[in-house]
Structure 1
Amino acid sequence: MAVRRTGFTRARKAAGFTQESFAEAMNVDRSTVARWETGAREPLPYQRPKLARLLKISGDELDELLSPVAAPTAVVQPWAAPSTAHDDEEDALELVRRINASDVGWETLERLEAAVDEMAIAYPQTPPAALLGRIRRHLGYVARLLDARKTLAEHQRLLVVGGWLSLLGATVHIDLNQATAAKARLKTAESLAAHTGHDEIRAWVHETEAWRKLTDGHHAEALELSRTAKAIAPAGGSAAIQAAAQEGRALARLGQRREAYAAIQEVQRLAGGLTRPDRPEHHYRYDPDKAVAYTATTLAWIGDPAAEGYAREIIRRLGGGDDPATWPRRVASANIDLSLALLVDGRLDEACGHTMRAITSGRVVPSNRWRAAEVVHAVEAGGLPEAVDLREAYEEMAKR
């Protein structure tokens, strides 16, 4: 039975706090303070220094206040049979108590899981450096919670949250051309996925590394990683579709046209049964718009003019008008894909205009600048007068 910490309660009152005001000062719920005082819960290690400061006591004094008072020793009747200190029934009850004891709580985990979703949704329209700061803060919080007392189920959920955060962090590092950090984050995500048996995260790890290899020009390695991701991914899930799309892009860069067309068909088949979700911006949830966008890119990379129609469709669906501030990144990429398709038809002036829109939108992340550079080089080679302005805009973007 938990022992009420009357000394802790007296110290809180002596410091001038009600349970409500103390909870507010500690940034916790009032019920958490109540459980501290009844002995039902222990404050987390990182909370103790602040507790001592608010109560105006030392750390040792706080430890003493939090220590349970020993219960009186029961008197054994002379005729009672002696009992062992650890009989089977008590051991079983204590094990259940320990399994169910937690300083984390499901509410905290639900909020963390919701925060992961919010960041994955914000990803297409948030500057990478800004999003990275949020990811780091949440990973730090997860690391602290791993040291706290929790149930086995809560521990499992916490590792999964850490896996998704590490994966998203790696993606942002790739956007910022921070290869070493990206590889470290991916390694962490893969380790956490292995500990939890989470194949969806494992597949996304390989797909994300495939994209990193693709942006670095290592197309054969990207193809192999995409196929590994496909083999791991749960059937019909977002990771499986994304891996197939990444495979198609790698095949396109390798010049394997027939296989690239087959990959496009596979993606369209897998995504064909999907409905458009309420929040299609979520980076780890596939939707029909993404299938159209990846088709546009793959066709553009193999020099098929049909990419024009798909790219224009993405711009129509997601462009939201002429204000680039409303664009997700896919619209900037679609303008570049459209430019590549227009180059195939010799329409250099139109290609120049769409790439200029992408460059000046602020939606081209560092890892994607090479795609714009391909159009800049082609327009310059074509001797278009507007190439000078396009080059200047590109160089200005590269400085940011």
Structure 2
Amino acid sequence: MGLAKRRRTLGHSQEELARMLGVDRTTVCRWESGKTAPQPPQRRGLAIALGISLPELDVLLSLPGVNSQETAGPQPGTPQDAREADEMIRREFLRILSVSGALTALPVEEAEAFTEAVRRGTAADYASMNSHLWRVYQLARPKNSIYPVIRAQLVTLNEALSGNRGGTRPLLSAAADLFQLAGEVAFDGNRYSDAVSSYALAASAGKDAGAYDLWACALVRHAYVEMSEQRHHQAAQLLGAAGGLADKGDNNLSTRHWVASVQAEAYAGLGDLDACERAMDRAETVRSLAGDGANGGWLRFDGTRLEEERGARYVQLGRLDSAEETLQGALGRTALAAGQSYRRRGAVLTGLAVIGAKRQDAEQIVTYGREAVVLARASSSGYIARRLRALCDEFGPLRRDHRVAELGADITMLSAP
């Protein structure tokens, strides 16, 4: 039985299945024809929607041939068209990056022609705009609502680099900043390939600009993608490189502390309690920085989330009593108010629901899981949706409990941006 046959057996049309998973009908068509494969978070939702296990889904996806009689051609204005436009921007930027990177090695007298605009504040204008976009991103619900502005800024920055308007290094720093933001939007929307491309470009631009902290932060964000796909060894390698770069950066910034915090997550994923605890302790030293080590843009780590991060690591490691005590403390400090993060509270609630699942406590799963679903719907956050889909994997025998089954259905219906 192929993927399309299983769908039809359940009485679902492509449109209905797409609506349940929060994707376009053409995406379902491409899955069924074998042209593309669902991303890891989509696989979980697809398996739940089709009433099969993940291994059974893998078997269906591996079957050769086109299983569906239904076809759907590309429609103008679809997300696929937008991605093609973004791919053109990326290719052009890579070409310019190759040239601009060479310019950074030129003697000062040969590069003077490219610095006049910097003296007039051109590069500073880009940095100011990027900083503003990060603030808007933090407040935006949904996050992808600011993507058109990011794309327009990327086009403008490309033109500046292509025309050598402004000093190369400052413009490359601005590009490293902006591509990290583009990656964040893509990652929140479960578009992993786009996120990785953006982070790779950010790292390359940061390298050519000699901006060690920007470069390190791009690697940290790339590591988050690896961990979302349960590739903790690969994440640890990226974070090791990021730590070396952070040590060469600005000691007044919190870059190295953020690296340590994320390393703790990678070590927890590998089951290494001692390494996780050491990394969390290094992250805690952010409190000893003389000033504000975060800039509110591409570097936002200031230690305020350490409690919930430590609780999440305890959940990963199976230390449930310590995890619950820590997350309950964090829950009171993430009460929603103007400007506070849905993502932070959603992550804490999901962590508490996972603890309930590991203890096979249906009441705890439903109590915290339902509130997290409300936040995911209100914010259209792919981040919270991913956490909730991972929660479904923990249900075990409680899937037969009607309350847990209803929560699982609600999670499946979440629309990712």
Aligned ranges for residues 194-213 of structure 1 at < 5 Å? 194-213=207-226
Residues 71-126 of structure 1 show CA distances to partners (whole Å, capped at 9, x for unaligned) of xxxxxxxxxxxxxxxxxxxxxxx999956643x76444333212212222333442
Which residue does 1:54 correspond to in 2?
none
TM-score by length of 2: 0.64
Q: Amino acid of the residue matched to residue 276 of structure 2? A: A
> What's 1:167 paired with?
180
**Cα offset for 1:140?**
0.9
- Deviation, 1:398, is 4.4
Q: Deviations over 1:139-193 (max 9, x none)?
A: 1111112244545xx3321211111001221222222222332232222212211
Out of 126, 144, 147, the residue aligned to residue 132 of structure 1 is 147
1:245 and 2:261 correspond: yes
Match of 2:206 in 1: 193
Out of 301, 308, 326, the position equivalent to 1:293 is 308
Contact 2:312 2:323 in 1 (8 A): yes
1:79-118 map, 5 Å: 98=113, 101-102=116-117, 106-118=120-132
Moved more, 309-318 or 288-297: 309-318
1:335 Cα deviation from its structure 2 partner: 1.1
Residues in 1 aligned to 2:291 and 2:332: alpha-carbon distance in whole angstroms: 16
Taking only aligned residues, the RMSD between alpha carbons, in angstroms, comes to 3.1
Match of 1:142 among 151, 154, 157: 157
Match of 2:336 among 303, 311, 320: 320
Q: Does 1:227 align with 2:244?
A: no
Q: 1:358 to 1:274 in 2, by over 3 A?
A: farther
* Distance in structure 2 (CA, Å) of the matches to 1:211 and 1:95: 40
**Shift, 1:258, TM fit:** 2.1
- Confirm or deny: 8 A CA contact 2:343 2:383 kept in the other structure: no
Q: Is residue 114–residue 168 contact of structure 2 (8 Å, CA) maintained in 1? A: no
- Asked if the contact 1:124–1:281 (Cα under 8 Å) also holds between the matched residues in 2, the reply is no
Query: CA 1:109–1:299 in structure 2 vs 1: closer, same or farther (change >3 Å)?
Result: same
Moved more, 359-368 or 296-305: 359-368
Uncovered stretches (5+) of structure 2, i.e. residues with no partner: 1-108
Q: Does 1:389 align with 2:389?
A: no
Query: C-alpha deviations, 1:251-275, integer Å up to 9, x for none?
Result: 111111222222222212x222258
Which one-letter code corresponds to 1:217 in the other structure?
A: Q
Q: CA deviation at 1:294?
A: 1.8
> Partners in 2 of 1:220 and 1:396 — Cα distance?
32
Q: Counterparts of 1:280-359 in structure 2 under 5 Å?
A: 282=297, 284-304=299-319, 305-320=321-336, 327-344=341-358, 347-359=361-373
Instruction: Give the drift of 1:303.
Output: 1.8
User: What is the TM-score when the length of structure 1 is the normalising length?
Assistant: 0.66
| Deviation at residue 344 of structure 1 after TM alignment | 4.7
**Structure 1 vs Structure 2: percent identity of aligned residues?**
16
Distance 1:170 1:346 in 2: 36
Conserved? CA contact 2:176–2:215, under 8 Å: no
Task: Quote the Cα distance in structure 2 between the aligned partners of 1:97 and 1:199.
Answer: 24
Q: Secondary structure at the match of 1:177?
A: coil
Inter-CA distance 132–100: structure 2 relative to 1 (3 Å threshold): closer
Q: Deviations over 1:321-365 (max 9, x none)?
A: 5x9x95331111111122233445554312321122112212463
Q: How far does residue 290 in structure 1 lie from its aligned partner after superposition?
A: 2.4
Instruction: Give distance in 1, aligned partners of 2:352 and 2:258.
Output: 21
CA distance in structure 1 between the aligned counterparts of 2:416 and 2:186, rounded to whole angstroms: 18
